[in-house]
Structure 1
Amino acid sequence: MMVSHNAKNRHVCRTIQVGIATAVGVLSLIGQPVWSASEDNMLFHFTDPSHFTEWNINNDTVMGGISQSQIKQNKQQALIFSGHVSLANNGGFASTESTFLHQIASTSLLTLTAKGDGKTYQIRLKTPNLSYGEAYVANVNTQANTLTQHTFTPADFTVNFRGRKVTNAPSLNFEDIDRIGFLVAQKQQGPFIIELHSVQFDR
């Protein structure tokens, strides 16, 4: 496993070398309890119906844009979020969101495991403490066709509303999270695809 630090973002990104044994190990975790045996972390798989509700799509079509996206599950039990971002009609984003089916415990680290396409995505977290349309956001800088882990602390997230930073917003506590989503924006037009495996919370 190679660890690298992104100068523009404080979170840590790890590149995972995946072999047959690793892939089998990942598949064997699907459907397992959320808590680890030591109860030091909570692991959620994005395609596990006991971990998340149905995933919803929200594109720029709500504002007159024509971007398109879809979600599906691949053979590796990962959630595939893909589509095409268009800048027509002042559009330029596509997103998906779901709700956690388990209460998150008090934790200090969030680790996302995903395989991207070299584009930058947003991980978006929501809590009951935010107003409608607001979200805690952080950037996920992916490497094309490479499975990576991205680790965040609550301080890595800022509150945004329709692309604008919100001041005087409540601080993020991971135990307050009830929804999670992903968004491709920043006018990154063209096709996109990200393979979402899991999110883990560590004490």
Structure 2
Amino acid sequence: MIIFDFNTQSDISNWNTINDMVMGGKSNSAFTLNDLGFGVFSGMVSLENNGGFSMVQYNFETKNVADFTKVCLRIKGDGKTYQFRIKSKASDKHSYIAAFKSETDWTTIEIAFNSMYPAFRGKTLNMPNYEGNHMEQIAFLIGNKKEESFTLVIDSIVLK
């Protein structure tokens, strides 16, 4: 199942950035399509005013994902660590999270659903890992407890 396959005609209006400004921080980010049709999440993470994260999230209609066991991210990054996040319901407070280190060449990152742990505001919750039944939101987040610029280029997000 294809969650998103970027191309020059992609509608990215349901992709939204959220930065630590929601809690007084100074980080900033943008999500754009480049000339080749890839999604580009880029910006600057700042620790000023107790900040420290930038995120881009994609909301969509509920998908039944019970027939799948993993997500495959075709990406090219900057060597930094990011989080991939899933929400069963967009209204859930918690996300299911998996961290990955990006590579500077195109690579496919495979993340098993059952390896994604539940967390809220940086704290792991005492709940089961992602069971992979429903999905309404995915996100990429960078928050490595340091000031840094970042660029993550996304080709596709596919469930297998």
**Would you say same fold, with TM above 0.5?**
yes
Mapping 1:36-185, distance limit 5 Å? 42-43=1-2, 44-46=4-6, 48-49=10-11, 54-101=14-61, 103-105=63-65, 106-128=67-89, 131-132=92-93, 134-143=94-103, 145-167=104-126, 169-185=127-143
Q: Distance in 2 between matches of 1:188 and 1:176?
A: 33
Q: Distance in 1 between matches of 2:40 and 2:119?
A: 25
Alpha-carbon distance change, 195 to 69 in structure 1, aligned in 2, over 3 angstroms: same
Which residue matches 1:187?
A: 145
TM-score (norm 1): 0.71
* Structure 2: unaligned runs, 5 residues or longer: none
Which residue matches 1:197?
A: 155
What CA RMSD, in Å, does the superposition of the two structures yield over aligned residues?
2.0
Q: Distance in 1 between matches of 2:120 and 2:114?
A: 18
Deviation at 1:129, TM superposition (A): 9.1
Alpha-carbon distance change, 157 to 171 in structure 1, aligned in 2, over 3 angstroms: closer
> Going by fraction, where is helix more abundant, 1 or 2?
1
TM-score (norm 2): 0.88
* Structure 1: unaligned runs, 5 residues or longer: 1-41
> Going by fraction, where is strand more abundant, 1 or 2?
2
Deviation at 1:186, TM superposition (A): 2.1
- Identity, in percent, stands at 32
